[in-house]
């Protein structure tokens, strides 16, 4: 009996069981004589199966073939799936076969609002790129409905991140997309534990931080990140680290204030040591913004910042370091803060080689016009040379142990 014969088609559909592939389902639909009748049999079998044994693959394939033959019937069947609570999950899956239109977006929004379908079923693996054809308003409405599902925030952030990627530069002119960025990011809280999703959060943050609500978003994200890091003994995930650097670059005074009040300076230091090329977040703050922030409370903020900037510029102190000294009520504590950047963080080869450029700068500062700077530089020269001697002894002892 050939595949296109009606009797065989009905037998295949009537004996439907898990394991049929979507491709087979599509081929059956392409040759079916009674599409509506065969669909009714198929759906009846699907609805009566247990949740564990349901396999939507064949059904989805059959529907794709049916839609190709009769699009109007396909729309009616999708509406019927939405109307039947037992077919809610199937109703979502049947929208994954092609680009979603406005009618499809309305159906998906309705299904999401009912809360019967897990958020993961709306995820980027199913709908990545398929929502690009709907309007920004419909997209935002759908994502807000998904966001309200358990674990739905991550899914909504993922989907919006993909849409922003598709929009490219046009996203900056899309007010609805920008406002959705703000809304989603303001919903991220201390319980947001999906580390792999922080990269998507960073994608949304670029637009949100540049919006009229950017400062509020910056404050919120910094508070979430400081809360997330307190009590932990490992650095931020890569995505969260990148997000933090973006916040410091866009709203430096806000980020400085939150991390300063949370006493998180050491955590910021740890971030700068994640890789050789990692820039300390505080160094991403524009200099004028940084100095204006310190000027409000120089006694406490000056030493805090001194330990995180690069105090050296060529053969002397940087202009930022000099400015911190000039506004400091107690210059000694600011100079003490500079000590944290004297020794190299990364050493390739010997300590002596790694510290050589800084040692030259310190030696030039021993004759500085400001006596306290010259005295401080002299002490640092001694410490660097002592540490270099210690490393040489260690290297010599190690070499001898192998002889």
The 10s digit of each residue's pLDDT in 83-96 is 999 899 999 999 98
State the DSSP H helix or E strand holding residue 317, giving kind and residue range, or none if neither. Answer: strand 316-317
Q: Which pTM does this prediction carry?
A: 0.80
DSSP 132: T
The pLDDT of residue 3 is 43
- 58-62, 87-91, 183-187: lowest mean pLDDT where? 58-62
Is residue 17 very low, low, confident or very high in pLDDT (cuts 50, 70, 90)? low
CA trace torsion 342, 347, 352, 355 (10° rounding):
-30
Q: Coil, strand or helix: which one is 240?
A: helix
Asked if residues 36 and 76 have their Cβ atoms less than 8 Å apart, the reply is no
Write down the residue that tokens 């002490």 correspond to. Answer: 379
Q: Which two tokens stand for residue 286?
A: 């524009």
The 10s digit of each residue's pLDDT in 227-278 is 765 555 445 666 777 888 899 999 999 999 998 887 776 667 666 555 445 6
The pLDDT of residue 350 is 82
Measured CA to CA in angstroms, residue 270 lies from 237, 279, 307 at distances of 12, 11, 12
Query: What percentage of the chain's residues is helix, strand, coil (to nearest 5)?
Result: 70, 0, 25
Residues 6+ apart with CB under 8 A from 274: 235, 238, 241
The pLDDT of residue 201 is 85
Closest to 92 measured CA to CA, from 60, 46, 133, 129: 60
Q: Phi first, then psi: give them for residue 314, nearest 5 degrees.
A: 65, -120
User: Is the pLDDT at 325 greater than 50, yes or no?
Assistant: yes
How would you classify residue 37: left for phi > 0, otherwise alpha for psi between -120 and 50, otherwise beta? alpha
More reliable by pLDDT, 403 or 129: 129
Is residue 1 very low, low, confident or very high in pLDDT (cuts 50, 70, 90)? very low
Q: What are the domain boundaries of the chain?
A: 1-97, 188-283
DSSP 168: G
């Amino acid at each position: 009996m050939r595949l296109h014969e009606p009797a065989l088609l009905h037998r295949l559909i009537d004996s439907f069981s898990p394991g049929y592939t979507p491709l087979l389902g599509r081929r059956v639909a392409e040759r079916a004589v009674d599409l509506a009748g065969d669909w009714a049999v198929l759906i009846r079998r699907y609805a009566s199966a247990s949740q564990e044994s349901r396999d939507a693959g064949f059904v989805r394939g059959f529907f794709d073939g049916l839609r190709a033959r009769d699009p109007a019937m396909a729309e009616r069947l999708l509406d019927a799936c939405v109307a039947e609570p037992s077919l809610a999950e199937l109703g979502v899956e049947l929208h994954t076969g092609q680009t979603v239109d406005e009618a499809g977006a309305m159906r998906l929004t309705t299904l999401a609002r009912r809360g019967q379908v897990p958020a993961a079923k709306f995820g980027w693996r199913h709908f990545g790129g398929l929502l690009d054809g709907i309007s920004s308003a419909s997209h935002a409405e759908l994502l807000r409905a998904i966001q309200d599902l358990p674990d739905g925030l991550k899914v909504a952030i993922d989907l919006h991140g993909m849409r922003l990627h598709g929009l490219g530069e046009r996203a900056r002119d899309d007010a609805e997309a920008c406002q959705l960025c703000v809304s989603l990011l303001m919903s991220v809280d201390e319980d947001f534990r999906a580390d792999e999703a922080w990269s998507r959060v960073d994608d949304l943050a670029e637009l949100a931080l540049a919006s009229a609500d950017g400062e509020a978003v910056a404050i919120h994200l910094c508070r979430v990140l400081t809360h997330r890091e307190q009590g932990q003994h490992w650095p931020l995930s890569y995505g969260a680290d990148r997000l933090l650097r973006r916040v410091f670059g866009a709203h430096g005074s806000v980020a400085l204030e939150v991390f300063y009040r949370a006493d998180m300076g050491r955590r910021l230091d740890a971030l700068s040591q994640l890789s050789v090329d990692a820039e300390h977040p505080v160094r991403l703050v524009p200099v004028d913004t940084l100095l204006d922030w310190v000027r409000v409370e120089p006694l406490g903020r000056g030493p805090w910042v001194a330990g995180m900037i690069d105090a050296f510029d060529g053969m002397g102190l940087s202009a930022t370091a000099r400015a911190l000294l000039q506004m400091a009520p107690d210059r000694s504590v600011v100079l003490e803060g500079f000590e944290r950047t004297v020794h190299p963080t990364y050493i390739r080869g010997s300590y002596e080689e790694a510290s050589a450029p800084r040692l030259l700068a310190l030696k030039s500062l021993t004759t500085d016009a400001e006596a306290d700077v010259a005295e401080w530089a002299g002490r640092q020269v001694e410490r660097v040379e002592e540490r270099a001697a210690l490393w040489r002894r260690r290297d010599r002892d190690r070499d001898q142990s192998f002889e």
